[in-house]
Each structure stands twice: as C-alpha cells, then as structure tokens.
Structure 1
Amino acid sequence: MANVNTGELLDFQDYSPEHNNRSARIDVEAVHTNQYNNTMSNPNYSFDEPKTIEEPEAVPQTNHNFWTIEYYQKYFDVHTNEVVERIISSVLPQKVSRNYFDERIKGKPDLYGPIWISVTLIFTIAVSGNIASYLHNANKKGFVWRYDFHLVSIAATAITCYVWIVPLALWAALKWTTTTDGHDEIENQDAKSPTMMSLFCLYGYSLSIYIPVAVLWTIQVFWLQWLFVLMAAFVSGAVLIFWLMPALRKSRYFLILIGSILAFHFLLAAGFMLYFFHQPNTGDDTIVTTVKP
C-alpha cells in the first residue's frame, strides 16, 4: 500500500474552473430521457387511467303517513340496554347526565318501553289487587273468594287514559304558554318545547316506579299504604319536573304546571291504592262477601 501524506490530505486544494464544471455537472436532460425511454420500451408497462370515485347515491327519505304502520317503526327501533337505562333514569335520575332528556329521549323517543311498562303495570295492579282483597277478607267467616277479572279492564282504562291524555294536555300547555326571550335562533331552537312523542315516552317510563309499589300495596297496613302513595307520587313527579325543567321555566304558568304534574301523579297513586288495594272495615265479620267475575 502506497504511503499517503496525511498533511496533503488535510490541506485545502485549489481546482481549476474547468475541473469544477466537469465534475459537478449533472446532465438532467439525459437522465430524464433515459428514464422515459426505459419505461416506454418495457413490454410489461401498462398505463392506468385515473379512476373516478363514484359517490354513493343518497337514499331518499320518505315521509310516511301518520296512519300507517311504517310511521311508528322508528319508535320501536330501540335496544334493550337503552330501555333499561331509561327505566333506571326514571327512578334514579342522578345515574345519568343532567342533559339526558335532551340528548337521548328528546331526539329519539320510543314507544316500546312505555307500552311494555304500561301493560306490565296493568296486570301487576290487577293481580296484586285481587291478592289484597283475599288477604283482607281471608279471616272472615263464610267468605268465598273469587278472582275479579274486571280489575284488569279498569286498570287498563285508567293507565291508558293517563299515559296518553295527560302528556297531550301538558304538550298543549307548553306549546301555548311558552314565552320567547329574544335570544338568537340557535338558543331558541335548543330550548324549544319537547315534542309530543317525547312526552309520551317520558310519562310512560315514569310509571315504572308503580310496578314494585303495587306489590307493596298488598300489605294491609293503612298508614304504610299511604306512605307508598306519597313516595311513588313524589319520585315519579320529581323525575318529570327534573327532565322538563328547562321547558317549564319558559312557560308563563311555571308554578301552575309544576303543581299540576305533582297533583296528577298524586291522584293517580291515591286512586290506585284506594280502589284496588284498600277496603274499609265494615265491622261485621260474619257477612259472606263474594266477588263475582
């Protein structure tokens, strides 16, 4: 190996302009031409034209008639976990967010849960009412007990009328008594009155507290039955006021609407207890009492 003078390597070297141009010149045109010629001469080369991306066609939304079955299909499109969540929120509203009604129920009301709760409550009251009648008269001499099937129809009429008529009246009251505060359109849109279907949904779920209370009403203790009446009416009414408070505040009759909600729930609970579960003592245990179907 030849000896190399490291000193010469470390020194700066001067080069002529010809040498610099000749060593640093890059023939750009030749490189571009060679690449083009190699590409076109390749037999496996194929030119792919740019493809146009086809956008999916929007599905036209059809508005079904109010009297058709298709109109109500969207109100039964609900999952089981959503129904369970709404039942829990109707008894314990602190388990969900404060804007739960505006975020979940107001935008997507359902009728599956309210109908299921109403039917369950009808049969629970009818069966529990007959059990309460039997427990009240079981110790009487010569008593022959028979199941009263009329309690089913009476309970169905009372619950159906309450679930549909009372929310309809509240919707009309909120619609015609709500005052605008002059804010911009976005705020008024967010704070508008709840829809009719959302009130039907909310009132249907508010009756879930009466299902376990109907079983407890079979206990033949008068003061305890009234305690359950007050508890059920307060819980169900307070939940309704809690969810509807933003809409109720914009009504001119704010206090009247709150008092009406609580009063109707109290009358419903008191009517259930007094008609189906409470039987006053006649003082004569020897009278034969029969309940005909």
Structure 2
Amino acid sequence: MANINTGELLNFQDYSPEHNERSARIDVEAVHTNQYNNSMSNSSYTYEEPKIVEEPQSAPQTNHNFWTLEYYQKYFDVHTSEVVERIISSVLPQKVSRNYFDERIKGKPDLYGPIWISVTLIFTIAVSGNIANYLQSINKAVIWRYNYHLVSYAATAIVCYVWLVPLALWAALKWTTVPDGQDEMETQTPSTPTMISLFCLYGYSLSIYIPVAILWTIPISWLQWLLVLMAALVSGAVLIFWLLPALKKSKYFLILTSAIIGCHFLLAAGFMLYFFHVPDSQP
C-alpha cells in the first residue's frame, strides 16, 4: 500500500478565487446541459390533444307496462314509404324478396298500417253494402233507407278476424313447431313469429278487400263469387308466402296452410253474402 503523507492531508490547501468560481460555473452549466439534453431526447415533438373520457351513460328506460300508451309508441314509428311498400307487397309479393317478412316485418312490426287498413275497410264495406242494396231495390216498389248497422257489423267481423285469427295461429305455431336448438343458438331469435308481427301481417293482408268491396256493388252473381275466390287466394297466398319458413317447421304444415286459406275464403264469402249478394229468387 502506498505511503500517504498525513501532514499534507491535514493541511489546508489554498485555491485562488478564480479557480473556485470557474469550477463551480462549469459544474452548474454541465448539470443544466445534461438535464436539457435528456429532456429533449425524451420528447417526441408531437402534440397530442387531451382525451376526454366520457362516462358511460345509462340507456333510457324503455320497458313500459303492457297497458300503457308508451308501450305501443314503437309500433307506430313507421314511415309512409314503409307502409306503402308493405301494402304493395301484400298484393304483389313478387315485388319483394322471399325473406321480406323475416327481414322487414318480423324485426319491425307496426300497427299503424293495419289499423288504418281495417278502419278503411270497415267504412268501405258499409258504404258499398248500402250502395249495393240501393241498386238492388231500384226496380222495387219499396222505400230505400240507409242501414247504419252495417258499420257495426263490419267492424265486429273485421276486428274479431284481425285479432283472434292471428292469436290462434300464433298459439298453433308455438305449440306445434319442432324445436331446433342449433338454429336458435346461432341466430338468437325465436323460430316462430311474434304475436305483434302476425297482427301486422294479417292487417296488411286485408288491403286487397278494399277495391274488391267496391267491385262487389256490381249486381252480377258470378262476378261476385269470382271476386271472392280471387281475394281469398291472393291474400291467403301472401300469408303463406311470408310465413312459409315458420310453417315448414310445424308438425301440422298442411293443416295450418289449409286453415289460413280457409279462413280467408270464409271471410270473403261472408262479406259478399251478407253485404252484397243478390238473391237468385225474389219473394
């Protein structure tokens, strides 16, 4: 180990003021230079706007009671173009795609169009029935009077048909459809149509009876029966065309198909026989 002179270590050493000031200034400048260089090397020279963190807002409460008016507001939120498109497709189904019911009506059913079609059909049948009765009594020695009860009769028949028949069809599809768990797990949607979608479908299917009711005023028996067959087949075919995927999954496919067409034929025949039919033999 090297010999160290302890005397030199204990003695005070003299440094000039210039030396002390210069060394202190060099040390301070070096510290600031290093800090500045480090800060500049770490900066990326890019300006980032501060991100505003939005707090998740809770979804509005849309679960209303079944008996309140707010529950039915979504079924009247429909554009005029959609109503016209559904009326045309109920008479000419080839104008739309084969999956039109699943793509448009099943996902967004409405009650605006069916209600207006039903109300229009009620007054059309009542007015046309009175006109047909007037034309039949022209050559008779009787005083013709307007029958206001035809409005209530037509309203009872149409309202019962539009609400009870779809309800029975919904129950039949629900209890006779063969369950297919794999399809429901993939699509996350029920295979059977909903009750509201069936109400919507049956309401639009009655649109063809409005012009037919006007033509029933012609007092020709064979023409009236021809219009009955045409209206029943067209409206029934549209229902089967739209409901065919759901009907195929039912165990009673032929029975349900025949029931749909049969109910439409009974409705058309009942309208014609009660409101417009000309008796073959006069008393």
TM-score if structure 2 supplies the norm length?
0.81
d(CA) in 2 for partners of 1:60, 1:257: 41
Any idea what SS the aligned residue of 1:179 has?
coil
Deviations 1:23-52 (A, max 9, x none): xxxxxx99x95x95xx9xxxxxxx987333
d(CA) in 1 for partners of 2:225, 2:249: 34
In structure 1, the residue matched to 2:10 is none
Where does the alignment leave 5 or more consecutive residues of structure 1 unmatched? Answer: 1-28, 40-46, 285-293
In structure 1, the residue matched to 2:239 is 240
d(CA) in 2 for partners of 1:49, 1:200: 54
In structure 1, the residue matched to 2:77 is 77
Contact 1:129 / 1:277 at 8 angstroms: preserved in 2? yes
Moved more, 47-56 or 208-217: 47-56
User: Which residues of 2 match residues 114-193 of structure 1 at below 5 A?
Assistant: 114-140=114-140, 142-181=141-180, 183-187=182-186, 189-190=188-189, 192-193=191-192
Contact 1:230 / 1:266 at 8 angstroms: preserved in 2? yes
In structure 1, the residue matched to 2:251 is 252
d(CA) in 1 for partners of 2:169, 2:262: 13
1:135 CA drift (Å) = 0.7
Q: Amino acid of the residue matched to residue 193 of structure 2?
A: P
1:138 CA drift (Å) = 0.5
Deviations 1:106-128 (A, max 9, x none): 01100000000000000000000
1:185 CA drift (Å) = 3.7
User: Which residues of 2 match residues 32-71 of structure 1 at below 5 A?
Assistant: 33=37, 50-55=50-55, 57-71=57-71
Deviations 1:36-84 (A, max 9, x none): 5xx9xxxxxxx98733332552423331000011001111111100100
Query: Which aligned segments of 4 or more residues in structure 1 are displaced greater than 6 angstroms?
Result: none
Contact 2:247 / 2:253 at 8 angstroms: preserved in 1? yes
Contact 1:191 / 1:246 at 8 angstroms: preserved in 2? no
Q: Report the CA distance shift for 1:198/1:127 in structure 2 as closer, same or farther (over 3 A).
A: same
1:279 CA drift (Å) = 3.0
Contact 2:130 / 2:146 at 8 angstroms: preserved in 1? yes
Q: Amino acid of the residue matched to residue 123 of structure 1?
A: F
The aligned length equals 246
Q: Report the CA distance shift for 1:146/1:252 in structure 2 as closer, same or farther (over 3 A).
A: same
d(CA) in 2 for partners of 1:104, 1:48: 45
Any idea what SS the aligned residue of 2:182 has?
coil
**RMSD (CA atoms):** 2.4
1:97 CA drift (Å) = 1.2
d(CA) in 1 for partners of 2:49, 2:213: 74
Any idea what SS the aligned residue of 1:234 has?
helix
1:143 CA drift (Å) = 2.0
Higher helix share: 2
In structure 1, the residue matched to 2:227 is 228
In structure 2, the residue matched to 1:44 is none
1:137 CA drift (Å) = 1.2
TM-score if structure 1 supplies the norm length?
0.78
Q: Amino acid of the residue matched to residue 175 of structure 1?
A: K
Contact 1:191 / 1:247 at 8 angstroms: preserved in 2? no
1:186 CA drift (Å) = 3.3
Q: What percentage of residue pairs aligned between the two structures are identical?
A: 76
Q: Report the CA distance shift for 1:257/1:184 in structure 2 as closer, same or farther (over 3 A).
A: closer
RCO higher in structure (CA 8 A, sep ≥6): 1
Q: Report the CA distance shift for 1:109/1:143 in structure 2 as closer, same or farther (over 3 A).
A: same
d(CA) in 2 for partners of 1:125, 1:185: 43
